[in-house]
Amino acid sequence: MAEQKWPEKYPVEGKRGRKYGTVAAMRVAPMVKAAIGGAVEAKAQGKAIAYCFIESNYDEIIRAMDIVPMWTENYAGICGAKRDTQRFLDKADSLGFSRSLCTYATCGLGFDAWREELGSMPPEAPWGGQARPDVMLSSGQIICDPRNKWYQAVQQFMPDVPVYNCAALWPLYEDDIDRREVEPYYVKYLAEDLRGLVRFLEEHLHGKMDWDRLWEVIKLADETTDLHAECRELRKAVPTPMDTGDAMNTMVPQAFMMGTQEAHDFYRDLRDELKYKVERGLGVIPEEKYRLIWPGGLPSWFALMDFNYFWSKGAVFPVESTYNELVYPARELDLPRTDDPLEYMAWRWMRRQTYWWDKARKRPGSEPDVEKLITWIEEYKIDGVVIHEAYSCRSWHVGLLWQVNQLAKIYKPIPVLILKEDRKEVEYRELPSLVLESDMIDISSYSEAETRAKIDAFIETLESIKSRKVEV
Amino acid sequence: MPEDDFRPDGGLSTAEKYYEDYGSRARELKKQGKKIIGYLCSLTPLEIVTAAGFIPFRIKGSVKEPITKADTQMETIVCPLVRSCFDITLKGNYDFLDGIIIPHACDSITRSYSTIRYSLGLPYSHFLNLPHTAKDISLEFFKAELDTFRRSLGNFAGEEVSDESLIRTSRLYNENRAKVRELYELRKSDPPLISGTEITKVLVASMSLPVEESTELLSRVVDEVKQRKGISPVQKLPRIMVIGAQVDDATLIKLIEDSGASVVADSVCVGSRDHFPPTDITPDPLDGIADHYLRRLKCPRTYVEWTEGTYDDYLELRFGHIGSSLRDFKVDAVILYILKYCDPFGFEVPARVKYIESLNIPVLHLEDEYSMASIGRLRTRIQAFLEMITSW
Amino acid sequence: MDYFAGVDIGSTMTKVVIMGEEEVVISLVRVTTPEQRKLANKVMEEALEKASLSFDEITYVIATGYGRINVAFADKQITEISCHARGVASLIPAVKTIIDIGGQDSKGIKLSGGKVVGFVMNDKCAAGTGRFLEITARALGVKLEEIGELSLTARNPAEISNTCTVFAEQEVINKLAGGVPLNDILAGLHQAIASRIASLVSRLGIEREVMVTGGGAKNVGLVKALESKLDLPVLIPPDPLLTGAIGAALLGRDLVKKAKNEGLPVTKRQRSLEEVKFFA
């Protein structure tokens, strides 16, 4: 295939409804493809491969020990984007896994079981297939049962591959608990668990952790996160220089390459590009009418064109919560000093996960997730909320309805004039919201016609509110 | 089953009363000035709740009540049992509650914490964060978490929860569990002296009572059942073990038994999962309690590490307790009853089936929605399974 | 002479078979209507009349199928899983896997030595059942009886991504409007269902010989698609709709034979073939 030539300078003229593309976003797909192929090649060369889950607080450890990660959620997402999941989902079904389970997991399970049966990759496996691992690193955290059970289930087909189940948990927000009270024992557990992970990797992969190197990788990762956070800040501009549709691509280095120079340079380049656009007022679409927020939840990987549809109606998403959950600059976390890199990682994890606690406490009825929404709605000048309920993912989607309901209850920022008896009064309304439903990779659950109809109706609502909005 | 010794004030009839009118005793106690704290799931450390002076009340759902109110606030992809619990709580069935405790059991339960907390607006709520693994460091963490919980409850109670009180309640719950095990002994005969339907009602009734009352009720039931003379049936009925999560309704069990079988054993939350392992009474009581809920209680949400041995050894490590029951209760076949959207069990179905079938016991895997509407479908499967395992 | 009756009340069709000690005397297939109790009686009456038999001459009646509890005059109810297995085993003993595709459900039955050793069912989701084809055929404006043959003429089967019937309906309409040939769409639909059914039955571990029963067996397009998906040849019984009722009658015969051999009385219900009035 001919090498793609990147434009030397942005902006790049956009296609399908957008005015300007995001150069950085266009680099992502080849990066991912190279990583997937790279893993297969690395395996052939005898390098160590680990099945990994994103955002599990062990990226730097993997990179410092030169282990090649195989991100199984990512691979399932790729199958989804290529609309080649059915045969793997069917395989998992035939093995006795319910179709109501996380489709990332059932896709992965079906793929792996098939690969083990054949002794080689399933025919025409997307992008060369998923490399067979030497170890598998689970992480159920407190939000994802599949990530607690998936690799254990895979072991039935690969009993020679050991699993380490990482802690990576955090406290839930409570009214009567100050996070500073519980931090010490959480951090201790997280750090000890990471220590266990290092021992496990050393034992099974016969390497040795270079602690100095680990510190370097952590430093690089923190700088990368800082840059990524800056990118997000830049999207506050009106018009916004980048939208969620692209962010679903640009999150890749954060999620899959954290701790590498490549990820660092990527966000540096993205930051420069966004700065360039902001300085010149270059937005995503010709006429930005509505700014929307995506509070959480995974997109339909096979239907990312739905974002194009939003653009065609003048709607953009300057900010999303998905894949931004841990992107906070290190300086804002007020991290204690320590000589122990694992303890550092533990503190950083805790502080990232409890970032919004203190702020939430100041508003009655608020909770960290809701508080984050309110803050971003104001900072990014948001007009409406869109959530996507993926039917097979309880972890990221249960609670979205509650968030949106609670948001509507405690935050009513839109002033509209209403007629009361004989005079007009200003009443404050909550932001309008839209619920889309399908799945992240199982296309049989998706109806394009229905989705578009819902979006149309939502746009009408946004328009009607806009026309009734008053200046106060 | 011999029901002619059904006395109006007997243990079985009392249990029936509390089963049918679930929560009635809690309501009475509330009127007397007691404080009732509702909880979901077997992983709630009742020893601590009781030691703090509250009466723990297990929230159950209703298979007869269609879910309506819950849907406006909670996604429908949540475990149907959790949705049902939430729905009937919203509808006021448990309006005597002073608080709610939710452990980190599974995603459905965990993710519903905010929703449940805010919609009910009870004076007290707490989320207990159990780690997924049971490593030594996990146990240490969990002990600290339990301490946070104990202090939080103490604040609400207006009095610290002492070690002595925890030792006292640990003993009380051990007594209770021993009573249940004694009752289960009466299922070992062929035919069993107590039916699965009856015992389900007793256990469900029991989980709505304060621990001492529960033990007392169980004692009465044991005495009553011991006096039954076993009636030899016309034909030998297949002995079934039911495996699942919170089977808090007798409808399923009755359906199995009406189809021509005896449910003689289980691995379900309200049954053996809660009651078979006792708690170790340790000098620092939290050690025993942490160990109980994280290691002794066998639930798929807790990740069992494979540190040595073959894969079959690993399955034995994870499911050996099932193997023991299969032998002890002379089980002929297993019905694995899993709710739709259940991840912890769902991912384990093939492994569980493999383990059970390796012991030459047939398994029927049912996936259900926790509602009366699916009875017809269940009936066909159960009947076909029983036909399959019985010789013509 | 002993006579045995098998009554199979499916969600779409009601079947009655009366057999003697060796062979089938009469068989009937009628569309199931909502009033199943009355219907069972009516169809039985019709069968008896055609066979010139009275109800009392029937030694044993077994009811099966979705509506089996509504057969008041049956001596015993047995699930369609056991009945299909028995029926198929009597026709071709070599069959190890049965795939039954009905109007509203589909099942897989695993046999060993003619006995059921495993089964799977899908009776909740229309995908993988006759219903899926019924609805999509209607949306496409094609007669249900013709879709099988038509699908075989396809050059380039369309990719149907929705297995949810409601969505699939929309999808096929859109494809047709977009110019995709009708036979290609039909082929795609058949493949989609065959996939669904195959993965369901795969849970049992598919072994030859494989036999397809039920209404689905009469659809040549579906049978071919299944063969292709399974990569195995598939057998069809002469009367695909009757295997359940035949099996039921045979099981009645088996029970009576066993009772006679063991010197036990045959457990029969107090039964008569009257019109059931109170559930009108």
Most A CBs within 10 Å: which of C199, C200, C229, as the mutation test of the A interface? C199
Q: How far is A439 from chain C (nearest CA, A)?
A: 12
Radius of gyration of chain B (CA): 20
Q: Which residues of B touch A367 (CB under 8 A)?
A: 114
Q: What is the ipTM metric for this complex?
A: 0.93
Neighbours of B253 (CB within 10 A): 25
Rounded Cα gap, residues A446 and A300, in angstroms: 9
Residue A1 has pLDDT above 50, yes or no: no
Instruction: State residue A25's pLDDT score.
Output: 85
If one counts every other C-beta atom within 10 angstroms of the C-beta of residue C108, the result is 24
Residue A389, preceding peptide bond in cis (omega within 30° of 0): no
Strand ranges in chain B using DSSP code E only, listed in sequence order = 36-39, 55-58, 99-103, 124-128, 239-244, 262-267, 333-339, 363-368
Of C104 and A362, which is predicted with more confidence? A362
Q: Give all domains of chain A, ordered by start, each with its CATH number.
A: 287-322+356-472 (3.40.50.11900)
Most C CBs within 10 Å: which of A89, A90, A300, as the mutation test of the C interface?
A90
Q: Does B25 touch chain A (CB under 8 A)?
A: no
Q: Which residues, in sequence order, are bridge partners of residue B125?
A: B100
Give the count of beta carbons closer than 10 Å to the beta carbon of residue A58.
Answer: 26
Closest alpha carbon within chain A to C202: A94
C-alpha–C-alpha distance, residues C217 and C235, integer Å: 9
Model pLDDT, residue A134: 97
- Nearest CB to B107; choose among A143, A192, A403: A143
Alpha carbon B355 to its chain centroid, in Å, reads 22
CA A215 to chain centroid, in Å, comes to: 25
- What are the domain boundaries of chain C? 3-83+242-262, 94-235
pLDDT > 90: percent of chain B = 85
Chain C CB contacts of B387 below 8 Å: 78-79, 81-82, 116
Encoded tokens for C27: 């068989």
Q: Say if the Cβ atoms of B131 and A406 lie within 8 Å.
A: no
Cβ A90–C174 below 8 Å, yes or no? Answer: no
Interface test with A, best of B147, B343, B368 (most A CBs within 10 A): B343
pLDDT of residue B8: 60
Number of B/C CB contacts below 8 angstroms equals 38
pLDDT tens-digit map of C87-108: 999 999 999 999 999 888 899 9
* Chain A, nearest residue to B350 by Cα: A96
Distances (CA, A) of B115 to A364, A398, B90: 15, 10, 11
CA distances from C185 to A212, A303, C167, C197 (A): 62, 22, 14, 18
DSSP state of B272: I
* Cα distances (angstroms) measured from residue C135 to each of A84, A196, A448, B39, C160: 26, 57, 19, 46, 14
Distance CA B328, CA C271 (A): 43
- Going B264 to B268 to B269 to B274, the CA torsion angle's sign is positive
Question: How confident is the model over A380-421, as pLDDT tens digits?
Answer: 999 999 999 888 788 888 888 899 999 999 999 998 888 888
- DSSP-derived secondary structure for A57-95: S-HHHHHHTTPEEEEHHHHHHHHHHTT--HHHHHHHHHT
- Residue B41 region, left (φ>0) first, then alpha (ψ -120 to 50), else beta? left
Contact A96 B348 (CB under 8 A): no
d(CA C183, CA C155): 8
CATH of domain C3-83+242-262: 3.30.420.40
pLDDT of A117 above 80: yes
Res. B229: pLDDT tops 90: no
If we measure between CA atoms, which residue out of B12, B384, A230 comes closest to residue C82? B384
Question: Amino acid identity of B235?
Answer: Q
Identify the residue among C66, C78, C79 best suited for mutation to test binding to B, counting B beta carbons within 10 A and taking the highest.
C79
Give the C-alpha separation, C105 to C125, whole Å.
8
Q: Do C162 and A444 touch (CB under 8 A)?
A: yes
Can you give the pLDDT at residue B5? 46
For B376, nearest residue in chain C (alpha carbons): C66
Contacts of C203 in chain A (CB under 8 A): 93-96
| pLDDT tens figures, B3-35 | 444 456 789 999 999 999 999 999 999 999 999
pLDDT in tens, B52-87: 999 999 999 999 999 999 988 888 888 999 999 999
Tell me the pLDDT band of B2, cut-offs 50, 70 and 90: very low
Average pLDDT over residues C40-68: 91
Residues of A in contact with B303 (CB under 8 A): 138, 140, 148-149, 152, 165
Contact call for residues C147 and C172 (beta carbons, < 8 A): no
pLDDT digits (tens, 9 = 90+) for A308-329: 899 999 999 999 999 998 899 9
Tell me if C3-83+242-262 shares its fold with C94-235: yes
Q: For residue C270, name the pLDDT band (cuts at 50, 70, 90).
A: low
CB proximity under 8 Å: B 362-381 to C = 376-377, 380-381
The set of chains that have 3 or more CB pairs under 8 A with A is B, C
CB contact under 8 A, A96 and C203: yes
User: Which of A91, A163, A165 is best to mutate for the B interface (most B CBs within 10 A)?
Assistant: A165
The C-alpha atoms of residue C76 and residue B155 are separated, in whole angstroms, by 63
For chain B, which domains are there? 21-149 (3.40.50.11890)
Chain C residues bordering chain A (beta-carbon distance below 8 Å): 127, 161-164, 166-167, 170-171, 174, 195-196, 198-200, 202-203
Q: Which residue of B has its CA nearest to A98?
A: B346
Of C79, C121, C254, the CB nearest to B387: C79
Cβ proximity of B224 and B34 under 8 Å: no
What digits encode the pLDDT tens for the residues A162-218? 999 999 999 999 988 889 999 999 999 999 999 999 999 999 998 899 999 999 999
Sheet (strand C97-101) strand order: C115-122, C106-112, C97-101, C210-213, C234-235
- Full-model pTM: 0.92
Residues B384, C82: C-beta atoms closer than 8 Å = yes
Residues 86-145 of chain B with CB under 8 A from chain A are 104, 106-108, 110-115, 118, 125-127, 129, 131-133, 135, 137-138, 140-141, 144-145
Residue A268: CB atoms within 10 A of its CB come to: 17
Q: Name the percent of chain B lying above pLDDT 70.
A: 96
Q: What is the CATH number of domain C94-235?
A: 3.30.420.40
Are C186 and C140 in contact by the 8 Å Cβ rule? The answer is yes
Identify the chains in contact with B, defined as 3+ C-beta pairs within 8 A.
A, C
Beta bridge partners of C8: C15, C64
Predicted confidence at residue B10, as pLDDT, reads 86
**Contact across the interface for A450 and C198, Cβ inside 8 Å:** no
pLDDT at A246 over 70: yes
**Chain A interface residues (partner C, CB cutoff 8 A):** 83, 86, 90-91, 93-96, 443-447, 449-450
Average pLDDT, rounded, for chain B: 93
> Whole-angstrom Cα distance, residue A326 to residue A58?
13
Residues in chain A: 472
Averaged pLDDT, A324-348 = 94
CB–CB of C119 and B383 under 8 A? no
> In residues, how long is chain B?
392
d(CA A450, CA A309): 13
Q: For position B9, what pLDDT does the model report?
A: 72
